[in-house]
Structure 1
């Protein structure tokens, strides 16, 4: 199958719109050109239909950070919406609540390593549809680890490791009911 005939996903469409947005900010496109191109990109179903809207623009290479650390102490830490996920994410938390929603996140790698260092905390990871997770490398002490993630899928692979003491860790997919999502 030719790459041009392959269907494009919503996330890939959003990346193209972001590229067009950057082109406007750099002065490469007028507002009218931007609006016309965005309309065309949002109607496109294949990669071939997208090409006419971006062929005259430079290709953007967005490289996510290789490593990042999130720290929380006696507080609440939440991350949701569009955010770039590093290849290795370390979460250090003490007496806190951490909720990371990966459903709209941008992944630069097919495998994400999440290292936990949680004490007296709750950690909730909401994974995108099709993602898989390996929680066998978590060392627990008076803690619970619950995973509602399917054992096989073709999406991003999460490898979760680290130490969890008197804490709870929950992995799940996004819940949906009618128009609501949480």
Structure 2
């Protein structure tokens, strides 16, 4: 496995993109059942602290090669909806930057099971006369300071700042919401009453 992510010269310094490629592979390994969540968190923490390729190699050495199509994630994706519903749910690849354009409809982005290979995800909104809901995985954070609302509202039910040392995704939301709503939250928990 290491040969595809770690070059021959292990003393070379890694870029942020190099680290993100390794995190993407670890994310895939969790989805495949090769790593537990605890192992994943420990390895991601180590990868993010690594400076050279040699330091990151132990975190991927015991994983098999992955198909190139799985490892490739677009850097920027644009989603458009006119008077309809725009929905992403289940296992989908989240790009580094997501541009969402919607008018007179609803947008629902569920990131709980998504493959997020970037530590920070940027979502740029341009929505009018509709609702936008973004559901984050447990532990993720979101900053909406860059969102402008006109005759609408933006509600955030998750922390805005990551905990020190956290490896959970951080989502930065910018853009505009006109005559509509933005809600950023975790999964709803329903209580069952027992009699």
**TM-score above 0.5:** yes
1:176 alignment partner, SS class: coil
Q: Deviations over 1:111-143 (max 9, x none)?
A: 000000001010000011111111011111111
Number of aligned residue pairs: give it: 142
Give 1:43 deviation, angstroms. 8.4
Matched, 1:58 2:58: no
Q: Please give the TM-score of this superposition, normalised by the length of structure 2.
A: 0.64
When the two chains are superposed, the root-mean-square deviation of aligned CA atoms in Å is 2.8
Shift of 1:44: 10
Larger relative strand fraction: 1
- Report the counterpart of residue 89 of structure 2 in structure 1: 80
Partner of 2:46: none
Q: For the Cα contact (< 8 Å) 2:94–2:115, is it kept in 1?
A: yes
* Structure with the larger RCO, 1 or 2 (CA within 8 Å, 6+ apart): 2
Larger Rg: 1
Which residue number in structure 2 is paired with residue 24 of structure 1?
Answer: none
2:160 matched to 1:140?
A: no
Give, in angstroms, the shift of residue 64 of structure 1.
1.1
| 2: CA distance, partners of 1:171 / 1:109 | 19
Which whole-Å deviations, capped at 9, do the CAs of 1:133-162 have from their partners, x for residues lacking one?
110111111110000012343211111000
Point out 4+ residue stretches in structure 1 off by more than 6 angstroms.
42-45
TM-score normalised over the length of structure 1: 0.68
Q: How does 1:6-155 map to 2 (within 5 A)?
A: 13-15=29-31, 17=32, 41=34, 46=39, 55=62, 57-60=64-67, 62-153=71-162, 154=166, 155=168
CA distance in 2, matches of 1:44, 1:86: 22
Superposition deviation, residue 58 in structure 1: 2.8
Distance of 2:116 and 2:186 partners within structure 1: 16
Q: Which runs of 5+ in 1 are unaligned?
A: 1-9, 18-37
Report the CA distance shift for 1:178/1:88 in structure 2 as closer, same or farther (over 3 A): same
